[in-house]
Structure 1
Amino acid sequence: MFDQSLLNQSKAGLSEIEAEYIASSLLKVCSTVSPQQTNSEVTALLDEQRDLISVAVVENGRPIGLISRNIFMEGMAKPFHHDLFDRKSCIAFMDKDPLIVDQNMSIQTLSFKVLGSGRKTINDGFVITDENGDYLGLGTGEDLIRVVSFLQAEKNRLVTESINYASIIQKSFLRSSREDMSAVLQDYFMHWEPRDKVGGDYYFCKKFDDGFFLALIDCTGHGVPGAFMTLIMASFLDHILHEDNRHDPAGALAIMNKKVKMALGQINETATDGIDIDRFSSAQSGQSDDGMDTAFCWVNTQNGTLTYAGAKTPLFYIGNSSSEVQLLDPDRKGVGYIDTPMDYEWTNQQLPLTKGMCLYLTTDGIIDQIGGLKKIAFGKKRFSALLQDNYLKPMPEQESIIMQAYYDYQGKQKRRDDVSLMGFRF
């Protein structure tokens, strides 16, 4: 069990602190299935135990694969798949090569293995075995991130040495969003520029048959702490963005808010599933106050509408009948912070889209940058003027003009934050 007194030791005691965190500390004893069981039985198990993210397939005590809830449910939801697969072995939807780790593996080693194995392990979890390779239970990416977030304050030297690798990992998490963005947009740009090698800004795009979902996220901080926050947000987005709520950005924000507050212990309660959230909170203050500012947008390509919900992040747009820059104003509460109520409800705003309309989202890295002769913030007014003067140009050209104006304005002033800016023409 975790010993709170270890927190009071000097940095020389890091090895003792780390020794308390091995793979078995993340262990959750979960129901399993065997290869002889059918997909119909897996469906019943997932319906009965709705907190299960994945189900291990075990044969003679040894894990042979992992069934992801999301992949399984999506597969079985396709037309006629229940008829085709219900009576077949559950290995039809099994990942035959999940991450399998020994219970005594250190968190440091485990975190690199999880990151190296890709997004699937962050989303679907990993299998924990005993010294003989027999199945013990599962660990989740979310729980691992909580522990790593706690330990990273004690591991600045190690994180610094690994920073270049972390940058590659963070960029790899953005790859699928870039691919979907290219698939659904013709004239657009996405500028992502961390202040440091890694950062706390994150963008997300996912295409669907009837449209696409966009999000631009500004997590607390920048550098390594901000990057860890983006991993949390990326994992949560993949889990909450399903068929029922992708059309409801405000509802998705509400779910995200609850997940962040629970994961980071920003409530005066104990998390479910036996995880004591207090043990992962700040050693100095006893509680973190982290979260994100963001804009969630659902673009319905069938009826030409955009549904927007913002947490302190506005949406700028210019219609094709006027060059005036207009805004959809956000709600003034961020996601996940201590002062944001657990049951806070954001507001959906709907915008009819017409061909040629230009839409823009930006984190506050540009707006709040100090510079110019008066050494004041760049500001929304200056940003809007740039949009108004250049919106008829192709989007990539607009990106170059806006960013050059930003760099010129910053001059020799210190960069304040990560910078993310996107624009697209409908």
Structure 2
Amino acid sequence: MLDQSLLNQSRAGLSEIEAEYIASSLLRICPPVSPQQTNLEVTNLLNEHPDLISVAVIEDNKPIGLITRNIFMEGLAKPFHHDLFDRKSCIAFMDKDPLIVDNNMSIQELSFKVLGSGRKTLNDGFIIIDENGDYLGLGSGEDLVKVVSFLQAEKNRLVTESINYASVIQKSFLRSSREDMSAVLQDYFMHWEPRDKVGGDYYFCKKFDDGFFLALIDCTGHGVPGAFMTLIMASFLDHILVEDNRHDPAGALAIMNKKVKLALGQISQPAAEGFDSDRFSAKRNGQSDDGMDTAFCWVNTQNNTLTYAGAKTPLFYIDSTSSNMQLMEPDRKGVGYVDTPMDYEWTNQELLLDKGMCIYLTTDGLVDQIGGPKKIAFGKKRFSALLQDNYLKPMQEQEVIVMQAYYDYQGKQKRRDDVCLMGFRY
């Protein structure tokens, strides 16, 4: 009989649960019959055990067939069939080709076999044998469905718990950036919204005596793969900025590019000369193609300048003398990807900061979102117009306005990507 503990939530890992629930966990000890027994004896057995769905027929303790209650009873219910069959061998109503499975068979393999044998096995059950082929008992389709449903629920629970914990880890990596951002900026907002519990968008802020370094990062993918990439990038970025190259965002991008390409084995053949790529990745011909789009910014608070270098991520700004949104265009190469050369050089662009200037960065999850009546992308033009109309308001109020417009525009359309958006007033 199926153990009732199956229905209780287990704290074990999925592999331990799957190892526990094999064919033998579905075993019902059911009395068999032999070919020498009559149909009348089978009738009496079924009457004595109203819970029996089927009865195995065995010879020399080896199963040779299965008698199903419904078919058996329907057969004998026909006129004169009791007179004709009561004293004959029970094999007259026997299924000669039932599903027979080893007691150590995994639930997954058993499920495939049951599905392959069709509806008959789900309704009638199957025979379970030991390693010697001897009869042990029966299993039912109902119990199998319960176990499969339980394992699926456990799998979902374990995955959900893992993702929830990964979200805690990812948020903990962001905490120091939040703290530094609060320390160096008075009027700002940072909106970080993964499409799933975790995501591939990431932000970074680190303060120094002479200024602060800002980065908005959009890694390959979203969900768990994207989150793994953000942790890699965060680790690299933290190490890169130990040196004085924080003043040189383009140089920091170049270093990051080399680190990512080497770590992930994303090195084209010419670039790989002099490098042992096998040391970094088992992939050669089938290497990954992962990386990030990003904006690196160094804000020098001593001379009020912002130095920007962008890898496919623009910088938007509105100065204090004009309400027009202006754009600093990025380089068109992402960081770390296979098609980005190992020695690629990004470009620094400098912006003189005056009091009241507004700076904005966003990943493409916002501008690429499909929605609206025409089902087209939100777009940079709509984003810029929103900011132009509202830039005089406090930054946190601007955040609410932009995100509400985004949600309204998305409507019932599927969320395409993570969203990371920041703005600050100098």
Pair in the same fold by TM > 0.5: yes
Q: Which amino acid aligns with 2:208?
A: F
Structural mapping, 1:55-94, within 5 Å: none
Alpha carbons 1:271, 1:277 under 8 Å: kept: no
Structure 1 segment 277-356 matched on structure 2, within 5 A: 277-279=280-282, 281=283, 286-356=286-356
Any idea what SS the aligned residue of 1:374 has? coil
CA pair 243-287 structure 1, distance change in 2 beyond 3 A: closer
Determine the C-alpha separation between the residues in 2 that align with 1:367 and 1:225. Answer: 22
Deviation at 1:158, TM superposition (A): 6.1
Question: What does 1:4-19 correspond to in 2, within 5 Å?
Answer: none
Provide the C-alpha distance between the structure 2 equivalents of 1:394 and 1:271, rounded to a whole number of angstroms: 53
Name the CA distance, whole Å, in 2 between partners of 1:206 and 1:213: 5
- Which residue in the other structure is 1:238 paired with? 238
In structure 2, distance between residues paired with 1:347 and 1:274: 28
Q: In 1, Cα distance between the equivalents of 2:274 and 2:171?
A: 31
2:277 and 2:401 map into 1 onto residues whose CA distance is 52
- The CA distance in 2 between the partners of 1:403 and 1:258, in whole Å, is 35
Counterpart of 1:276 in structure 2: which amino acid?
R
Alignment partner, residue 202 of structure 2? 202
Counterpart AA for 1:179: E
When the two structures are superposed, what TM-score results if normalisation uses the length of structure 2?
A: 0.61
CA distance in 1, matches of 2:156, 2:264: 20
- Which digits, 9 at most, give the CA deviation of each residue in 1:5-46, with x for residues without a partner? xxxxxxxxx99xxxxxxxxxxxxxxxxxxxxxxxxxxxxxxx
User: Alpha-carbon deviation of 1:276?
Assistant: 2.5
Query: Which structure 1 segments of 5+ residues have no match?
Result: 1-13, 16-154
For 1:227 and 1:271, how far apart are their aligned partners in 2?
31
Counterpart position of 2:118: none
- Measure the CA separation in 2 of the matches of 1:235 and 1:272: 22
Secondary structure of 1:278's counterpart equals: coil
Percent of aligned pairs with the same residue?
A: 85
Q: CA deviation at 1:160?
A: 4.7
Distance 1:278 1:175 in 2: 31
- With over 3 angstroms needed to count, the CA separation of the structure-2 counterparts of 1:406 and 1:359, relative to structure 1, is same
C-alpha distance in structure 2 between counterparts of 1:345 and 1:156, whole Å: 45
Counterpart for residue 257 of structure 2: 257
- For 2:193 and 2:287, the matched residues in 1 are separated by 30
Amino acid at match of 1:314: P
State the shift of 1:423 in Å: 0.1
Cα deviation, residue 242, structure 1: 2.4
- Distance change in 2, residues 1:271/1:194 (3 Å): farther
Partner of 1:196, secondary structure, is: coil
* CA deviation string 1:82-131 (max 9, x = no partner): xxxxxxxxxxxxxxxxxxxxxxxxxxxxxxxxxxxxxxxxxxxxxxxxxx
For 2:294 and 2:369, locate their aligned partners in 1 and report how far apart those are by CA, in whole Å. Answer: 18
Q: What is the DSSP-based 3-state SS (H/G/I as helix, E as strand, rest coil) of the residue aligned with 1:392?
A: coil
Separation of aligned partners in 2, 1:163 and 1:318: 39
**Match of 1:213, as an amino acid?**
F
Q: Greater Rg, structure 1 or structure 2?
A: 2
Note the alpha carbon deviations across 1:29-64, whole angstroms, 9 max, x for none: xxxxxxxxxxxxxxxxxxxxxxxxxxxxxxxxxxxx
With over 3 angstroms needed to count, the CA separation of the structure-2 counterparts of 1:332 and 1:274, relative to structure 1, is closer
How far residue 243 of structure 1 moved from its aligned partner, in angstroms, is 3.6
Deviation, structure 1 residue 422: 0.1
Paired residues of 2:262 and 2:277 also in contact (CA < 8 A): no
Q: Give me the whole-angstrom Cα distance separating, in 2, the residues matched to 1:391 and 1:374.
A: 27
**Is the 2:215–2:296 Cα contact (8 Å) retained in structure 1?**
yes
Give the whole-Å Cα distance in 1 for the aligned partners of 2:354 and 2:173. Answer: 32
Q: Which amino acid aligns with 1:342?
A: M
Q: Does 1:174 align with 2:177?
A: no
1:238-291 Cα offsets, whole Å, 9 max, x none, are 111124200000000000000000011101449968962331x49xx7210000
Q: CA RMSD in A?
A: 2.2
Q: Which position in structure 2 is the counterpart of 1:141?
A: none
* 3-state SS of 2:423 partner: strand
Change (3 A) 1:308 1:175: same
CA contact (8 A) 1:188 1:424 kept: yes
Structure 2 distance, partners of 1:396, 1:383, is 16
Cα deviation code 1:340-388 (max 9, x no counterpart): 0000000000000000000000000000000000000000000000010
Match of 1:369 in 2: 369
Partners in 1 of 2:354 and 2:325 — Cα distance? 15
CA distance, structure 2, for counterparts of residue 384 and residue 196 of structure 1: 26
Paired residue type of 1:242: V
Number of aligned pairs? 271
What SS does the corresponding residue of 2:294 show, helix, strand or coil? strand
- What SS does structure 1 have at the residue aligned with 2:244? coil
Write the distance in 2 (CA, Å) between the matches of 1:195 and 1:332: 25
